[in-house]
Amino acid sequence: MARITLRQLLDHAAENDYGVPAFNINNMEQALAIMDAANQVDAPVIIQASRGARSYANDVMLKHMMDAVTEIYPHIPVCVHLDHGNEAATCMTAIQAGFTSVMMDGSLKADGKTPGDWTYNVGVTKTVTDMAHLGGISVEGELGVLGSLETGMGDKEDGHGAEGKLSHDQLLTNPDEAVKFVQETKVDALAIAMGTSHGAYKFTRKPDGDILAMNVIEEIHRKLPNTHLVMHGSSSVPQDLQDIINAYGGKMKPTWGVPVAEIQRGIKNGVRKINIDTDNRMAMTGQIRKVLKDNPEEFDPRKYLKPAMEAMTKLCKQRLQEFNTAGQASKFKKILTPADMAKRYAKGELDPRVA
Ligand SMILES: O=C(CO)COP(=O)(O)O
Ligand SMILES: O=C[C@H](O)COP(=O)(O)O
Ligand SMILES: [Zn+2]
Ligand SMILES: [Zn+2]
């Protein structure tokens, strides 16, 4: 049983200079596809479920799927993480369901739409870290609001995201505030805003520094060299996946995602968790479209879900290799339980170290 906390996993990643992709799941096929990839390349992995995933699949189903994958692949450390918790209660019920890590996204209020101010964000995030750490569970916070530096619009493409126009100050995490935020909340990982957004339509052109502000990450890393940084909205939206979808009846508009090279630059500068959902959605959908178009007589779901899973495994494997996560699973000597981690928090061993 190798369910690992985010904190232990990212501490290992920092010591060994790699990043860990956090892939979203909603169903068995996605869970199996991720684990197949992690197993093939000996990588630890983060599997995350959003509020939408929890209501789609049911917490009990998710809990047992996570038990199942750790039983099938006992040698692969798996962190089970809540993506974009909107309030303390959402985080606590995830912990009850067996998650080893939660995101309290206080950059937005509980409605998941209205930007939260400093006092709100620090308050709600600290409430969650205080409680979660007592049980040894890790917490990711977010400072800065995800959205486009091209248009100034928040990202509400998939339901969770700011509505309307945002200022440059909101769209770019302030490095000095990041230091204060980590000190006050004691989060284990910090998600930051620098121009990425959720979904497929991130950039209207190949991003440069004006619209994907990687320099902000570098500056935050200089001030917070010991804090694990998180990049959300980090799908690369590969052209070949857009082409497959469009070749088989899809209608995706031209778009750009986050180039892998920019993520690799982030990993050199403290980025340890990289959130990817859209690329996997596209990989699966492309294959489903292809099978159904090529074989209109087909109605056995396994006939299209199997190639969909294979395409997702291929994508996950590629990212695990590109982020140097591959080869790291067998390096873990001991997986600490949440109870072990709770003792470490209580002793102050895991308090933020601010330069
Ligand atoms: O950030 C994400 C989940 O929190 C996913 O981002 P993408 O939409 O770029 O895959
Ligand atoms: O926001 C991140 C992921 O893409 C999850 O999306 P979702 O809320 O539609 O499940
Ligand atoms: Zn999303
Ligand atoms: Zn996200």
**108-137 residue pLDDT tens:** 999 999 999 999 999 999 999 999 999 999
Alpha helix (H) ranges present in the chain?
6-15, 28-41, 51-57, 59-72, 88-96, 118-134, 168-171, 175-185, 214-223, 239-247, 260-267, 278-294, 301-322, 338-346
Q: Is the CB of 273 under 6 A from ligand 1?
A: no
Task: Tell me which residue of 198, 143, 199, 190 sits closest to 171, measured CA to CA.
Answer: 143
- Distance from C-alpha of 279 to C-alpha of 237, rounded to nearest angstrom: 6
Q: Does 85 sit in the ligand 1 pocket, CB within 6 Å?
A: no
d(CA 142, CA 108): 9
* N-terminal to C-terminal alpha carbon distance within the chain: 36
Expressed in angstroms and rounded, the spacing between residue 294 Cα and the centre of ligand 1 is 30
Task: Determine if ligand 1 sits within 6 Å of the CB of residue 83.
Answer: yes
Ligand 2 pocket, Cβ-based, cut-off 6 angstroms: 24, 50, 52-53, 83-84, 158-160, 198, 277
Among all residues, which ones are annotated catalytic?
83
Q: CA 137 to CA 338: how far, in whole Å?
A: 6
- pLDDT, tens only, 214-246: 999 999 999 999 999 999 999 999 999 999 999
Q: Is residue 86 predicted with pLDDT exceeding 60? A: yes
What value of ipTM does the predicted structure carry? 0.96
Task: Report pLDDT for 163.
Answer: 87
Collect residues with CB below 5 Å from ion ligand 4: 232, 275
Q: What is the pLDDT of residues 280-330, one digit of tens each?
A: 999 999 999 999 999 999 999 999 999 999 999 999 999 999 999 999 999
